[in-house]
Structure 1
Amino acid sequence: MDDANIAILADGGGHATLAADALAARDLSVPELEAGTKDRLREVLPDAASVRNPVDVAGGTDDDPSVFADCAEALFDDPNVDGVLLSGLFGGYGIRFTDDLEPIEKAAARDIVTFAEDTDTPLVVQSAYESADPEVHTILRESDVPVYESLDLSVACLSALAEYGTHLKTTDERDSFNLEEGERTIDPAEATNGTLTEYDAKKVLDQYDAPVTPYELVETPMEAKRAAVEFDAPVAMKAVSPDIVHKTEADAVALEVTEDADDVFQDLVENARTYDPQARIDGVLVSPMRTDGIEVIVGATSDEQFGPVVMFGLGGVFVEVFEDVAFRAAPLSKSDARSMIEEIDAQPLLNGTRGGSSVDQEALVDVLCTVSDLVVDNPVVEEVDLNPVLAAEDGVEILDASILLSNESQTTTHTMESENEVISDGGDNE
């Protein structure tokens, strides 16, 4: 189902109204029916019936549920209709009114199945009698027609079909993900406790030409001072340790460092060692400070049902406050990535508000597709967290990165190194 135009076939005005509202809540349209379709509906429905979409049979099926099949066939044939929602009591007429209606309903169900099989238009049935498990519903389900009691679930099903139709339509946009053997692979042995250091995570992103903020891993105070000068301070400085995941908790992060980067280096190393005396410290990561732009988050996780799933949303401290995020299963096309960006509630911020400039959304699209490539290429990746990614008018930059590998990927056991084997903090090995 490439589009999202749904015809509603209901056995009451209440059912029709509720169904229309539920579809609108999921941005699914209720289109105008063709004149010929309305004529066909009038032939089988009473004068009181509404042949506009939503179609209300107005009691026209109370004595003869086979009318549902005639109406469904007409809706399937309408070129304006991409999906049909049958909502109300279908399957329960033999229970609600008289046993004599049950065989008529069964025959109607078989006819509906036949009509549905002859069309590409999907059908979802919502029935208040679904929990009674009538044989009518069994006939539908055996032919892959979904039946639900919940209206919300029924509409969610149609929404998912619409999204899947869009997904299929854009498959020709997808790049090839078949890389040469050994290319762009992550060595699980590089991770401790399943997590790559920020330095190693950024090296992985470099392999994908991702827009990572310039960085240098320094191992001495003098190297830190030189790097700060070369990056034209202010700079951000972070202790790098495979044993310390949360650097802020260890007071191992310093921002807006303008001078004395050598002293800051020693402070960060000391704080990290105080936080975890057994931690190995690989050095301090130095990067130029970036402040202009909007912070967003790009990530990925491995879902048991869908496999790798890519995420996008408002980043920084706001990601947990607003939880304004969008998800798509990988691999992504550029169309998928654009739809994720358009989906979040904060999207107007990216377009520029109150005279502000819009951010480079195509650059964000590229980052989303890059993360998609990374997780598709490397099944050992359990999570990717790029937060924040700073989006500006002239491009985007990844300021921080974390990559978590699955437990199954940990094929080597890391032994603790002695303190004489860690970096020097200026000549004093404690």
Structure 2
Amino acid sequence: MNYNGYILRLVLRILLLVALINGLIYAIYIEKSIYIFVACFLILYVGYNCYAFIKRRFIVMDDFFEAVKYRDFSRWFPEDRGPKDIRKLYTGFNEVNRTIKDINSKNEAQYVYLQKILEMVDIGIIAFNLENGDVLWSNDSFRETLDFPSFKNIRFVEKRAPEIYNVIFDSYHREPDSISIAVQNEKIKVLISDTVFQVEEDAFKLIVLQNIDNTLNKNESEAWKKLLSVMTHEIMNSIAPISSLAETLQSHLQLAIDNPKETSLDLEDVHAGVKTIKNRSEGLLKFAKTYRSLSKVTHLNLEKRRVADLFEVIKLLMQPSLDVKNITINFELKTPKLELDIDNHLIEQVLINLILNAVDACKNEREPLIRVIAEQTPNRTIVIKVYDNGTGIPPEIMENIFIPFFTSKTTGSGIGLSLCKQIMLLHKGKIIVNSKEGEGTVFSLVF
């Protein structure tokens, strides 16, 4: 901006003021009262005019710097009023405001763009001040993973869930680490990593959290498909020798029928062959029946079902056998008129499996008790729980109970709980287990 005109006028005013002061000195020297009075008046006038000239411009600049101090770049200075140099000053200020507003708009657009991207990812992210705990930024995925409402300071987490606070906020995970945390009485596996960064005087911690339970469930489902393919192959390989043996026996019998006098038939060999076929066939039949139940669970026939009706059917099925074993079973509907969109056959199968497991767990108790409870939680999730007061599940096998073919029973197939979990996953639900040795177990079906 060209300030030559402003400087020239200021210099002329200063020179005029100096000249008047010299005139005043001369008037005093020659002792001319009238000259002294005139010189004093002119000095005051020019001095005030010079002061007002400079002050006006400083006020304008002070207004601008005050707006900058409070980040108010919406101020607009009139470019069509006042002296020419002030109008130029206003034009310069407005240009600065426009430039800063453009920069802010671009930065804000980039921030919103980045924020939307981070909100869309299913990985939890949070950044907070290490000294005072104030949250700089967090996305919905982080709060949903931990089942927390929006919070402004991590002390909220420390008061509400100290264990989660210690393992996530108060610990350091420089390398990605897989940990288990308790959320709403459920153990979930998460992958966590963090880093510390500096912004001017403040240090911040950035935490990245990913719920890997869903990924594990997806991988487990894929493993099911591969497993069934392998098992089908193995069944076919086992049937082949049976078919060959049956064909051999059939040819021997046919020869004996066609030429009874010339052919000697060893009945013991025939009996042994038939017995082998029978035993192997029964084994394969049991095997096929077991694994067929797995392959069938690939789609659902959903229909609305009252939970009370579901309980009534299960009670009619299970009550007689439990009465014989002197096991008490109670069905409780804590929230009336509950309804579910489910595949009736499959969910009935899940409940029967869980109740049969509960029977095995508490059959040696003095007063065996099984409770089946349905309720709706405050977040409108429907939960069906199967309690027993049995021996409980040992901690060392807790993580393995849903793995296909794993069993701690001498006569178990190891597919019951795996099948239950697969059915619940198809219903977009989950199955949760909590158990204490010597106290009992509860399986929760969460819809």
TM (norm. structure 1) is 0.24
- Structure (1/2) with the larger helix percentage: 2
Bigger Rg, which one:
2
